[in-house]
Structure 1
Amino acid sequence: MKKDNKSPRKKDSQLVLRLDKLERDAFVDLCRDLDTSAAREIRRFIRGFLKENAQD
Protein backbone atom coordinates (compact mmCIF):
# COMPACT_ATOMS: atom_id res chain seq x y z
CA MET A 1 0.00 0.00 0.00
CA LYS A 2 1.37 3.42 -0.96
CA LYS A 3 1.86 5.85 1.90
CA ASP A 4 0.42 9.32 1.36
CA ASN A 5 2.78 11.99 2.73
CA LYS A 6 0.33 14.86 2.24
CA SER A 7 -0.79 16.84 5.25
CA PRO A 8 -4.33 16.02 6.40
CA ARG A 9 -4.91 19.71 7.16
CA LYS A 10 -6.89 21.72 4.63
CA LYS A 11 -5.06 24.70 3.21
CA ASP A 12 -7.49 27.54 3.78
CA SER A 13 -5.40 30.68 3.94
CA GLN A 14 -3.29 32.75 1.59
CA LEU A 15 -0.20 34.87 2.05
CA VAL A 16 0.18 37.69 -0.46
CA LEU A 17 3.59 39.22 -1.01
CA ARG A 18 5.13 41.59 -3.48
CA LEU A 19 8.49 40.94 -5.06
CA ASP A 20 10.50 41.90 -8.06
CA LYS A 21 9.16 40.32 -11.26
CA LEU A 22 12.60 39.11 -12.37
CA GLU A 23 13.18 37.37 -9.02
CA ARG A 24 9.72 35.84 -9.08
CA ASP A 25 10.15 34.56 -12.63
CA ALA A 26 13.62 33.16 -11.86
CA PHE A 27 12.25 31.40 -8.76
CA VAL A 28 9.29 29.89 -10.61
CA ASP A 29 11.54 28.78 -13.49
CA LEU A 30 14.02 27.17 -11.12
CA CYS A 31 11.26 25.36 -9.26
CA ARG A 32 9.95 24.05 -12.58
CA ASP A 33 13.45 22.90 -13.57
CA LEU A 34 13.71 21.08 -10.22
CA ASP A 35 10.29 19.44 -10.76
CA THR A 36 8.63 21.20 -7.85
CA SER A 37 6.30 24.15 -7.45
CA ALA A 38 6.93 27.61 -6.07
CA ALA A 39 4.09 27.18 -3.57
CA ARG A 40 5.51 23.87 -2.33
CA GLU A 41 8.95 25.40 -1.78
CA ILE A 42 7.56 28.45 0.01
CA ARG A 43 5.49 26.18 2.30
CA ARG A 44 8.61 24.08 2.95
CA PHE A 45 10.56 27.22 3.87
CA ILE A 46 7.83 28.44 6.24
CA ARG A 47 7.60 25.07 8.02
CA GLY A 48 11.38 24.91 8.41
CA PHE A 49 11.55 28.49 9.65
CA LEU A 50 8.84 27.83 12.23
CA LYS A 51 10.57 24.66 13.39
CA GLU A 52 13.99 26.34 13.67
CA ASN A 53 12.55 29.26 15.62
CA ALA A 54 10.06 27.41 17.78
CA GLN A 55 10.00 28.54 21.37
CA ASP A 56 9.01 26.24 24.20
Structure 2
Amino acid sequence: MSRFTEVKELVDSLEDDFAKFYEKGNKAAGTRVRNGMQAIKTLAQDIRKEVTDIKNSGK
Protein backbone atom coordinates (compact mmCIF):
# COMPACT_ATOMS: atom_id res chain seq x y z
CA MET A 1 0.00 0.00 0.00
CA SER A 2 3.01 2.30 0.37
CA ARG A 3 3.31 2.48 -3.42
CA PHE A 4 -0.21 3.91 -3.57
CA THR A 5 0.76 6.52 -1.00
CA GLU A 6 3.81 7.36 -3.09
CA VAL A 7 1.59 8.01 -6.13
CA LYS A 8 -0.77 10.19 -4.09
CA GLU A 9 2.09 12.24 -2.67
CA LEU A 10 3.56 12.76 -6.13
CA VAL A 11 0.21 13.97 -7.50
CA ASP A 12 -0.28 16.25 -4.49
CA SER A 13 3.19 17.72 -4.95
CA LEU A 14 2.27 18.83 -8.48
CA GLU A 15 -0.88 20.71 -7.46
CA ASP A 16 0.78 24.12 -7.16
CA ASP A 17 2.56 23.72 -10.49
CA PHE A 18 -0.70 22.76 -12.20
CA ALA A 19 -2.32 25.94 -10.88
CA LYS A 20 0.64 28.08 -11.90
CA PHE A 21 0.64 26.65 -15.40
CA TYR A 22 -3.08 26.60 -16.15
CA GLU A 23 -4.13 29.74 -14.29
CA LYS A 24 -1.09 31.97 -14.73
CA GLY A 25 0.53 30.56 -17.86
CA ASN A 26 3.85 29.92 -16.14
CA LYS A 27 5.85 27.88 -18.66
CA ALA A 28 8.43 26.67 -16.13
CA ALA A 29 5.60 25.22 -14.06
CA GLY A 30 4.41 23.42 -17.20
CA THR A 31 7.82 21.80 -17.53
CA ARG A 32 7.66 20.67 -13.89
CA VAL A 33 4.17 19.26 -14.50
CA ARG A 34 5.40 17.32 -17.53
CA ASN A 35 8.35 15.92 -15.57
CA GLY A 36 6.09 14.99 -12.68
CA MET A 37 3.60 13.28 -14.96
CA GLN A 38 6.43 11.26 -16.50
CA ALA A 39 7.48 10.18 -13.01
CA ILE A 40 3.89 9.15 -12.27
CA LYS A 41 3.77 7.16 -15.51
CA THR A 42 6.99 5.35 -14.64
CA LEU A 43 5.84 4.62 -11.10
CA ALA A 44 2.46 3.37 -12.35
CA GLN A 45 4.19 1.01 -14.78
CA ASP A 46 6.40 -0.33 -11.99
CA ILE A 47 3.34 -0.92 -9.82
CA ARG A 48 1.55 -2.70 -12.67
CA LYS A 49 4.52 -5.02 -13.13
CA GLU A 50 4.71 -5.69 -9.39
CA VAL A 51 0.99 -6.51 -9.20
CA THR A 52 1.24 -8.84 -12.20
CA ASP A 53 4.24 -10.62 -10.70
CA ILE A 54 2.47 -11.10 -7.35
CA LYS A 55 -0.72 -12.24 -9.06
CA ASN A 56 1.09 -14.76 -11.27
CA SER A 57 3.24 -16.16 -8.46
CA GLY A 58 0.09 -17.23 -6.62
CA LYS A 59 -0.87 -19.73 -9.33
TM-score normalised by length of structure 1: 0.36
Return the index of the structure with the highest Cα Rg.
Answer: 2
TM-score normalised by length of structure 2: 0.34
